[in-house]
Amino acid sequence: MSKHTPQSLSNSAVIFSLLLGGVVVSLSNSALNPAIPLFMQVFGVPLVSASWVLNAYVIAMAIGLIMVSYLATIFARKTLYLTALAIFGLGSMMGYFSPSIDWVSGARFLQGLAAGILIPLSVGILYQIVPHQRQGQTMGLWGMVVMLGLAIGPLVGAYLLKWYDWDVLFIINVPLMGLAWALVWHYLPHQQAKIQQRNLDKKGLLGLCLLLLGGFVWERMAHQYTAQFSEWMMVAMIGLGGILIYGSYRWWLYEYYHATPLLQVNIFDNRIYRYCTIISVTQTIGLMLYLILLPMLIQQVMHHPATWTGWVLMASTLIASVTTQLVGKIVDKQGARLLGCWGVILTASASFGLAWQLVDISIIAVVIWVCVHGLGVGLAYIPTTTVGFSQLPADKVTEGASLNNISRRICSGLVIWLAMAYVNYRQTQAVNEVGILQELLLLIGGMLLLSLPFAFALPRTSSSFINQQQS
């Protein structure tokens, strides 16, 4: 008798469609990065205008991540997921037919809004349809395909731009999203009975929008300040920064005690989820800083062409994605403590090793240390994230995934800006690039080591984190 029951085949089709949607989102986002200079040339706009192709996506994705928790309580997850897929496809069509850079930015806004809904919702659906004993393996597969999308995106984008025009970067998404839409519509069952109505936290939404707007204004001011020193700008930045910090604190308290909050920040009361999110945030910060510092090292210090940077980053991401898939099976049986600790140690060691050899380093040594970092990310990121989500009730996983994404993006964005401001500051002191890179790599390694106690506090075995949905 066949082991593949109709239910298992249906779940496999749903998992495939979720993975397809995730890889299209990550691939589409990273593939557009090489097209920014082309947008400037085709539409005759400056870098500030062309950069809104990226900024619009980031802002819209933040909105989607914020709203998905509320939307998931008033719409069936199948309906919401299909709608988000349709919005992403609509944004892709809009981008293909865009007559101006404003239309391209609008198309990217729609794609970002849909992506902010699709990513956490996919995780929530996976945790509902996948048995507890296979959640680590499935999340490992999810992490692998998303990382692969991010890794090959710039290369795919570069080659597509070499052979075709920029609009193909949009239209290529349409048939893939159409296939994902058809599979989800056919195989994912409706769960309308679990929908619970709740009022929209309008005050919380307004407060968060004001904080995001203030943060965007502060980032623009900071960008101008680092480009040209101004005393009044420094005073304004300090004042606005203080207001934003106090406002964030008040908003957090309001959401924490509100009966129907916009974001259920009290999820962080779960100790294991909180520890796993801290590890996830630090690993993301380290990864994003590597994406910025490696081009400086390979192209400006070592004077290799940009293609070397792409291949080195791709090798690291491939190592991370394959490791993620392999350890997914282990975390289902043995928990994440050992994996998380080794992952943190390896990522920190890679940063220290690069800093140690940076004065006289070969490209082979760079590849080795970067691959060690990728191995550490594969061991630390998905296993700990899987355990963190497993601590939440099934109906809270989407909100947990949303908060995890928001935390990673806000913290990594802030730290990246601080790192770039530090680079500019050290350059004014006539410090050479090697010295600056060494200092930042040592700081990255130290930051990663600080998360080691949190990894050690994770459950030792799989039986220690039986999903609360079984209760």
Please state, as a whole number, how many other Cβ atoms lie within 10 Å of the Cβ of residue 6: 7
pLDDT over threshold 60, residue 281: yes
Q: Is the Cβ–Cβ distance between 108 and 60 less than 8 Å? A: yes
Tokens representing residue 385 in the block:
């994230």
Domain termination site, one of 162, 186, 210: 186
pLDDT recorded at residue 360:
78
255 and 274 belong to one structural domain: no
Instruction: Evaluate whether residue 192 is within a structural domain.
Output: no
Q: Are 107 and 92 in contact (CB under 8 A)?
A: yes
Domain count within the chain: 3
For residues 154 and 86, the model is more confident at 86
Would you say 27 and 145 are in contact if contact means Cβ atoms under 8 Å apart? no
Residue 468: what pLDDT? 42
Residue 471: pLDDT band (50, 70, 90) is: very low
pLDDT tier for residue 24 given thresholds of 50, 70 and 90? confident
Task: Give pLDDT, residue 369.
Answer: 92
- In a shared domain, residues 176 and 248: no
Instruction: Choose one of 261, 284, 302: the last residue of a domain.
Output: 261
CB 24 within 8 A of CB 148: no
Around Cβ 257, how many Cβ atoms within 10 Å?
A: 10
Give yes or no: residues 362 and 297 share one domain.
yes
- Give mean pLDDT, residues 363-373: 89
Give the Cα separation of 325 and 346 in Å (integer): 18
Determine the pLDDT at residue 91: 92
Residue 309 has pLDDT above 50, yes or no: yes
Q: Does residue 318 sit within a domain?
A: yes
User: Which of 186, 219, 250 is the C-terminal boundary of a domain?
Assistant: 186
First to last CA, the chain: 33
- The Cα 243–Cα 440 span in angstroms is 29
- 201 membership: H or E segment, kind and range: none
Task: Determine the average pLDDT of the residues in 85-110.
Answer: 89
**Residues 133 and 245 placed together within one structural domain of the fold:** no
- Mean local confidence (pLDDT), 244-262: 84
Same domain, 12 and 68: yes
What is the residue type of 440?
A: L
At residue 3, does pLDDT exceed 60?
no
- pLDDT score of 373: 92
Overall average pLDDT of the 115-122 stretch: 86
Task: Please report, for the domain that includes residue 294, its CATH number.
Answer: 1.20.1250.20
**Which pLDDT belongs to residue 195?**
52
What is the structure's pLDDT at 9?
Answer: 54
Model confidence, pTM = 0.75
Q: Does a structural domain hold residue 29? A: yes
Report the SS3 class of residue 44.
coil
451 is a domain residue:
yes
pLDDT higher than 70, residue 8: no
| Residues in contact with 3: Cβ distance below 8 Å, sequence separation at least 6, in sequence order | none
Phi, psi for 263 (deg, rounded to 5): -125, 125
Average confidence score pLDDT of the chain: 79
- Per-residue model confidence (pLDDT) at position 163: 83
> Does 289 fall in a domain?
yes
Question: Which pLDDT value is given to residue 288?
Answer: 78
- pLDDT score recorded for residue 169: 85
Among 66-75, 178-187, 221-230, 259-268, the range scoring the smallest mean pLDDT is 221-230
Does 313 share its domain with 330? Answer: yes
Residues 147, 68, single domain; the answer is: yes
CB-based contacts of 122, cutoff 8 Å, min separation 6 = 18, 21, 22, 81, 142
Band the pLDDT of 394: cuts 50, 70, 90: confident
DSSP character string of 253-277: HHHHH-SS-SS-GGGGGSHHHHHHH
- Same-domain pairing of 223 and 330: no
Confidence label for 239 from pLDDT (cuts 50, 70 and 90): confident
Mean pLDDT on 444-448: 92
420-440: per-residue pLDDT in tens? 777 777 777 766 778 888 888
Query: Where does the pLDDT of residue 74 fall: very low under 50, low under 70, confident under 90, or very high at 90 and above?
Result: confident
Say if residue 336 is in the same domain as residue 250.
Answer: no
- Give the pLDDT score at 38: 76
Q: 275 and 400: one domain?
A: yes
Report residue 470's pLDDT band, with 50, 70 and 90 as the boundaries.
very low
* 195 lies in some domain: no
Residues 6+ apart with CB under 8 A from 326: 140, 378
Is 267 domain-assigned? yes
Q: Is residue 449 situated within a structural domain?
A: yes
Based on the domain organization, do 10 and 81 belong to the same domain? Answer: yes
**Do 214 and 162 lie in a common domain?**
no
pLDDT of residue 90: 93
Instruction: Please give the residue range of the domain that contains residue 97.
Output: 6-186
pLDDT at 2 (0 to 100)? 43
Give the whole-number percent of the chain exceeding pLDDT 70.
85
**d(C-alpha 25, C-alpha 469), whole Å:** 29
